[in-house]
Chain A
Amino acid sequence: MKYMFLLFNAESSGDMAEESMQPWIKFGEDAAKLATMHGGEALHPGSTATVVSVRDGKRVVTDGPFVTTKEQLGGFYVYDCENLDTAMKLAEMIPWAPTGYIEIRPVVDFGQ
């Protein structure tokens, strides 16, 4: 079953592009022993975000991010894990877990 891991952290410590890659490479290697990766990216900080919606047929554009909390979405992974326990174990290993939050969301399987 595929799970998406949403990585949240305080903005100040949250720019993944600036971080040392070492812990992330190590995570990738350890995670590969538990589950299969199906993608993942690091994101530029929330200050670069743009929010688009359409109301009454008109496009509305605002400066982002959509959710303005202290913790911001800084990246994501998708892994195929056996079950939620495995996914939780994997989340625990993500380098941001000790300072931020990892939200695990099961991905809908349309059964292709």
Chain B
Amino acid sequence: MTTPVRGEAEASRALESVVAEHGTRIVATLIRACGGDFQLAEDALQEALLTALERWPHDGVPAKPEAWLYTAGRRKAIDHLRRSQNLERKTEQLQNLVALEQAGEPDEPEKELLQDDRLRLIFTCCHPSLALEAQVALTLRTVAGLEVPEIAKAFFVTVDTMAKRLTRARNKIRDARIPYRVPPEHELPDRLTGVLSVVYLVFNEGYVGSTGQRLVRDELCDEALRLGRLLTSLMPDEPEALGLLSLMLLIDSRRAARTDAHGDMLTLEEQDRSLWDRARITEGAALAQRSLRMRRPGPYQLQAAIAALHAEPGRPEDTDWLEIALLYNELLRIQPTAVVELNRAAAVAMAYGPDRGLWLLDNLEAQDGSLAGYYLMHAARADLLRRACRFEEASKSYRRAMELCPNPVEVRYLRRRMREVGES
């Protein structure tokens, strides 16, 4: 049964919506059929899409277009292997594909199997043997379905560079035989941490954009949120996956308020809270609660709980800094990093006064000399000195932070602050 359509425009619209809705599922299942060969599956799917564009305007859109694309893709993969001169591994792959073809794999494989395929896809894209930048690129291309030029643009590299990065990653998956699977139970916590950090990196690249002129690049934030939702739907019992989604929603709720009309950064205190997205805050805060109730706390859950305490009060002066400082203590215990230390010092300063925070920063710098080259260290110190009304010292710290800061938008913020305390 087919729905007749007239013209290519309608067919390509239909195709676009199938790909948007089912793209990840189709590619995930096709990769499994191709024995984990990403490149083969990707090429086969591209050809299947071209065939669809040729045939659908005449034949009509199939009743189950996603099953049509999957089956067409599998046949393209068989053609590919038969044409290919490279004998290496070909036979095994071909046997597998032909077996699937003959078995007439059901048009709609079990829902569970499909879920497994998408998880397999995510875990393989984020395999620790791939370079982090390759993990990010592969996840955005294959799981999120972004086009190569879009990804290249988001990471400020040429299309050619990004295409090569993706090809190298797919070749490594095939040649080093990175297995297409969800890792076994005992490896899962470690591997999940890797997956979550790739998603959070995509989000942060969109939100902070270490190299961009604009502070927020919406499409990367949106993709990260979509990936976060996909992960929580596939792994509903993983509190850290919930925690990450919650954290991203809460940070993202401030997207519209984060910069002024000139694109300059505003602090939480300065932001117009009526611009905060209440729906995101409600959803994010509820998710944070739900994750913490599972009683397996982790860094994303704690950061989400902190973000919820920032997001919920209507006025900055109602923020519960004591509770935030306590949560930072907890976070520091499981994630002892410089950034957490700095944030804790800031929270302690808000709860107990700037002197207490400055004391923590002094201790921190005495312990770890490398922090002297870290702009956030100086920015944090400058902020506390400003609050302590030690303006001259504050100005010096702002200047040092500016010199070290890689992000032009943040540099503009630091310069504005420096002017406020009176440039010395």
Assess whether A106 is in contact with B177, with CB atoms less than 8 Å apart. yes
Q: Which residues of A contact B183 (CB under 8 A)?
A: 85
For chain B, give the interface size range.
10 to 19
Interface residue? B176 (CB, 8 A): yes
Question: Which B residues from 83 to 123 make CB contacts under 8 A with A?
Answer: 87-89
Q: Which residues of A contact B403 (CB under 8 A)?
A: none
Question: Which B residues from 262 to 296 make CB contacts under 8 A with A?
Answer: none
Assess whether A111 is in contact with B177, with CB atoms less than 8 Å apart. no
Q: Which residues of A contact B175 (CB under 8 A)?
A: 106
For chain A, give the interface size range.
10 to 19
Q: Which residues of A contact B87 (CB under 8 A)?
A: 111
Across the interface, B89 reaches (CB within 8 A) one of A84, A104, A109, namely A109
Contact indicator per residue, chain A 79-112, by CB within 8 Å of chain B (1) or not (0):
0001111001000000000000000101011110
Cα of A106 to Cα of B89 in the assembled complex, Å: 13
Question: Which B residues from 102 to 159 make CB contacts under 8 A with A?
Answer: 127, 129
Interface residue? B178 (CB, 8 A): yes
Assess whether B88 is in contact with A84, with CB atoms less than 8 Å apart. no
Assess whether A83 is in contact with B177, with CB atoms less than 8 Å apart. yes
Q: Which residues of A contact B177 (CB under 8 A)?
A: 1, 83-84, 106
Taking the closest CB of chain A, its distance from the CB of B291, in whole angstroms, is: 28
Contact indicator per residue, chain B 238-265, by CB within 8 Å of chain A (1) or not (0):
0000000000000000000000000000
Across the interface, A111 reaches (CB within 8 A) one of B88, B129, B179, namely B88
Cα of A88 to Cα of B187 in the assembled complex, Å: 12
Can you name the residue of chain A whose Cβ is closest to the Cβ of B89?
Answer: A109
Can you name the residue of chain A whose Cβ is closest to the Cβ of B36?
Answer: A83
Can you name the residue of chain A whose Cβ is closest to the Cβ of B174?
Answer: A106
Q: Which residues of B contact A85 (CB under 8 A)?
A: 178-179, 183, 187
Q: Which residues of B contact A82 (CB under 8 A)?
A: 179
Across the interface, B179 reaches (CB within 8 A) one of A84, A108, A109, namely A84
Q: Which residues of B contact A108 (CB under 8 A)?
A: 88
Using a CB–CB cutoff of 8 Å, the interface residues on chain A facing chain B are 1, 82-85, 88, 104, 106, 108-111
17 more A-B contacts (CB under 8 A) besides A84-B178, A106-B176, A111-B87? A1-B177, A82-B179, A83-B177, A83-B178, A83-B179, A84-B127, A84-B176, A84-B177, A85-B178, A85-B183, A85-B187, A104-B176, A106-B175, A106-B177, A108-B88, A110-B88, A111-B88
Using a CB–CB cutoff of 8 Å, the interface residues on chain B facing chain A are 87-89, 127, 129, 175-179, 183, 187
| 10 interchain residue pairs of minimum CB distance | A83-B179, A83-B177, A106-B176, A84-B178, A111-B87, A1-B177, A84-B176, A85-B179, A84-B177, A111-B88
